Chains A and B, each alone.
Chain A
Amino acid sequence: MSTLRITIEPPAGPPADRDCSGGTLTFGRGTDSDVVVADHSMSRHHARIEAEADGWIIEDLGARNGTFINGVRIQGRHPLAPGDVIKMGATLVRVTEPGMERPGALGVGDLGSSIFRRVEDIAGDLDESGAAPTRVAARLKALNDFHRAMAEPISLDALLELLLERLFAALHPEEGVILLRQPDGTLATAASRRLPGATGDLLVSRRLISEVVDKGTAALVTDLALDERFAGSDSIIGSGIRSILAAPISDTAGTVGMVAIYSRAHVRRFGEEDMELLVSLASAAALRIRNVALADEAAARRVQDRELALAHEIQMAMLPRHLADRPEIDMGAALIPARAVGGDLYDYLLIGDTLWFIVADAAGKGVSAALFMAVTRTLFRAVAQSAPSVSAVVTRMNAELARDNERQFFVTALVGCLELRSGELTYAAAGHPHPLRASGGHPPESTDAVEGGIALGVIEDAVYAEARLTLSDGDVLLLFTDGVTEAINASGELFSDARLLRSFAASAARPAREIVSSLVNDVTFFASGQPQEDDITVLALRYRLV
């Protein structure tokens, strides 16, 4: 198989050569083509040249404007031979063999058109630069200005803008771009600038990134059209860019990004002195970029912390500020979120001689749980005002929460209703632990005579049974969330129902507020040194027959 030389002549910009000795070569406007041509009359995937056993063929890939060989439009596949001229859109592709004379064409590869240099070598060369004294002065001034500006507090965006501005002032490119490494390791454009009138997409060659960022070298490309390194899959033939200067942004800890400037042939070609200045500015910027990025991150975290602190306040304000003030009841409650905001809730409503109360625990932690908690509280308050029974309240709350609940958020809840005149208590448990009751000096017990229903929000038409019992004078009810019983100590043990019952037994004779605080102390002491895994909520309620 003979080698083909393909010369691509885009409508604007200089021609470029590719040698093919086998395989396939795709042409198109799309950046995934082997040869990307900035020609709007070409299709994204225009045509393909392919080596076959007995010669070369070209295949039109269904291009809108067609593919022509020597002036004749081809359909599908067509043999290709040296001497053929292919037309794709406004682009001409000449097929020759290496060594064949191409009238008017430039020589290839013998100009040494690009220079890659290790950054350290350039930094060492700076003092001995043979440039004219006035230019050196101008460049030193640019460097000085930049250093001085960076001594002031500056945001990352302002720092990058300043770097581009100094580069444009000193080196007069038409386009400039700064790429920075993102937290996920990829590179993204952090700043860019172009002279008015520059058109088309700003192209950053993957090849250039690999030379500059991965290898830590500065790159000076003085004639892109002649540079084989950039004739690969992401070639930018036809973009009109002729000269590129790029430097890594590196400090001792590594490369954080790169800065590249571009020029079109008729404007200006960059030289080695320009490269030295770019490298100096880039390394001066590097240290500050890392520091500023850290400072920006810290500032963002502070904003987030403030937001969370505010959210915490809002959430705490949803809890009752004062507990019910009636001679029949003595209440105490505590809620300790594991994070700034949490999914636990307690609340009560006093309607005439009826006390409604709820303790609930929305699944998960943090903001999502907190939002679900807020919705649950609002529902409880709205529904308890008018519903005829505990069962009806819980059933309606569930139906509301379950509607369109694709993500299956759920909340466990214990809702109760105490008739203050009689001590009659009705309650329903939805996926939630039943209350404990301490009565007549006996050890406290769970009140789980009636089986609880499913947590709220899961099954839209779930129905909840209610349990009834009558409180005697002096009886204490203790409601809690599983953050109490599932608190973990250093040896991985759970606080458990047994410890809860013991703690309650020890404090049951004391005022409600103290029952709560001593239980919270017991849990905190038990789990000391361990991170709190879940929100902890306790509500104690003593009934007095008046």
Chain B
Amino acid sequence: MNIQHSNRDGITVIAPAGRIDTTTSGALEDAVRQAVDKGARDLVVDFAGVDYISSAGLRVFLVLAKRMRDLQGRLVLCGMPEPVRQVFRLAGFMPLFRVEPSREAAMARIVTPS
């Protein structure tokens, strides 16, 4: 798995690519934790490059969402391919996240929250 970071207009975008499973979720968890530790409060996670996410991968986003709620930050997920969306949906996690189809829509959602 490879994790891209970028920052635009104060919004941190994290774009993991590849499989998010038991083996790789630790690295992703560290990456998002570090971003938040460094002060990121407006966060977009772009799943466009993610092939697969396991339950261990889901846990990373539960922890992140909880932390962002505690910090009163904003988190938007986007670009979910259908198999990834399926895994979130099956676990019943969709209502816990703000999800947008594209990165642009996710950034716009942060700029003007609905």
Contact = CB atoms under 8 A, between A and B. Distances in A.
A407 B56 CA distance: 11
Contact of B93 (A366, A431, A432): A431
Given A431-B90, A533-B21, A533-B54, A363 B59 contact: yes
A397 interface: no
Given A361-B55, A363-B55, A363-B56, A408 B90 contact: no
A455 B92 contact: yes
Interface in A440-457: 452-455
Nearest to A453: B92
A420 interface: no
B54 to A, nearest CB: 7
B59 A364 contact: yes
Contacts of B96: 454, 458-459
Interface string A381-413: 000000000000000000000000001111010
Contacts of B108: none
B66 A408 contact: yes
Contacts of A453: 92
A410 B55 CA distance: 9
Nearest to B52: A486
Contacts of B56: 363-365
A34 B7 CA distance: 41
Interface residues of A, number: 26
B99 to A, nearest CB: 15
Interface in B45-65: 52, 54-56, 58-59, 62-63
A534 interface: yes
A112 to B, nearest CB: 51
A interface: dominant SS:
loop
Contacts of A14: none
B91 interface: yes
Contacts of A363: 55-56, 58-59
Interface in B28-83: 52, 54-56, 58-59, 62-63, 66, 83
A21 B36 CA distance: 46
Given A363-B55, A533-B54, A408 B62 contact: yes
Contacts of A362: 55
Contacts of B52: 486
Contact of B91 (A409, A454, A533): A454
A452 B59 contact: no
A410 B62 contact: yes
A486 B66 CA distance: 27
Nearest to B94: A454
Interface string A415-436: 0000000000000001111000
A455 B93 contact: yes
Interface in A250-303: none
A192 B22 CA distance: 41
B95 interface: yes
Contacts of A482: 55, 90
Contact of B55 (A364, A366, A407, A430): A364
Nearest to A457: B62
Nearest to B25: A364
A408 B54 contact: no
The 10 closest A-B CB pairs, nearest first, are A454-B92, A363-B55, A431-B91, A408-B62, A364-B56, A431-B92, A455-B91, A408-B63, A365-B22, A363-B59
18 contacts: A361-B55, A363-B58, A363-B59, A364-B55, A364-B56, A365-B22, A407-B59, A408-B59, A410-B91, A412-B55, A412-B90, A412-B91, A431-B90, A432-B90, A454-B92, A482-B55, A533-B54, A534-B54
Interface of B: 21-22, 52, 54-56, 58-59, 62-63, 66, 83, 90-93, 95-96
